[in-house]
Amino acid sequence: MNSSGLKFTFLMPLMVACLMAASASIFHNDFDITWGDGRGKIVNNREVLTLSLDKASGSGFQSKNEYLFGKIDMQLKLVPGNSAGTVTAYYLSSKGSTWDEIDFEFLGNLSGDPYILHTNVFSQGKGNREQQFYLWFDPTADFHTYSILWNPQRIIFSVDGTPIREFKNMESLGVPFPKNQPMRIYSSLWNADDWATRGGLVKTDWTQAPFTASYRNFNADACVWSNGASSCKSNTSPSSASTNRAWFSQEMDSAKQQRLQWVQKNYMIYNYCNDAKRFPQGLPPECNMS
């Protein structure tokens, strides 16, 4: 083998290692562990973040950046075994009394019983837009990708690339839509056995503690908000100088619509738009739109 071949043979593994490192999220660059007194940890060469819960405390983290529109991906592996009473929350939120919020919450359950994925959208401090789902896999056995696509027209919740919920901008009907308040990413693992599992009937079994959830492969293709300005040129169009932001005007094609319908037919277990008893004065206006 000539010298150039030897150099290539030596450099190739190094190049591959560098590419792999560049593609993995280095958590301390993007997030701060904000509470839990050591129960939140960044491990595995700073590529995995874990949150733990015991009887004394849970734990949580938040993003260093605020975002105003974007596509946010995170891989999670949820608390295994008897996770009843625990909640793993992963969400976007602004601050103040008229905050906006886009929620994934994972409600634990007894061993062998399915997790409940709880979603909600708050705009100007008003929520009450819950939809809940079972998942079509065991979310504790491996990592799965949970995504929020948020643009001025719609919010799409997805799991492993499959849309499970769409919340459209219906300001024309008087429905507030989150579009003016930058939001941080937050996550926490905490005890909610007063309501989380079967309405609070099943309590947390502390003999199973500590409970641990894991996170990896964070990605934000998003408009970062800093010092009162967006990294995109405006709040209504993406920066032409930035990378291609297809998500900014993205909507679901027919294949995605079919996947959404499949999930909602087979795995949705609660939809506020079907809960007439909860809204005796009439369902919210967005519920009347197909």
∠108-210-104 over CA atoms, to 5°?
35
Q: What are the angstrom distances between the C-alpha of 49 and each of 31, 42, 86?
A: 9, 4, 18
DSSP annotation string for 180-233: SS-BEEEEEEEE-TTTTTGGGTSPP-GGGPPEEEEEEEEEEEEEEEETTEESSS
Listed in sequence order, the residues at least 6 apart from 231 whose beta carbon sits closer than 8 Å to its beta carbon are 223, 224, 225, 239, 242
Which residues are the active-site residues? 101, 105
User: How far is residue 238's CA from residue 157's CA, in Å, rounded to a whole number?
Assistant: 21
Q: Exposed, middle or buried: residue 123 (CB in 10 Å: 0-12, 13-18, 19+)?
A: buried
Residue 254's Cβ-side half-sphere holds a number of Cα atoms within 13 Å equal to 0
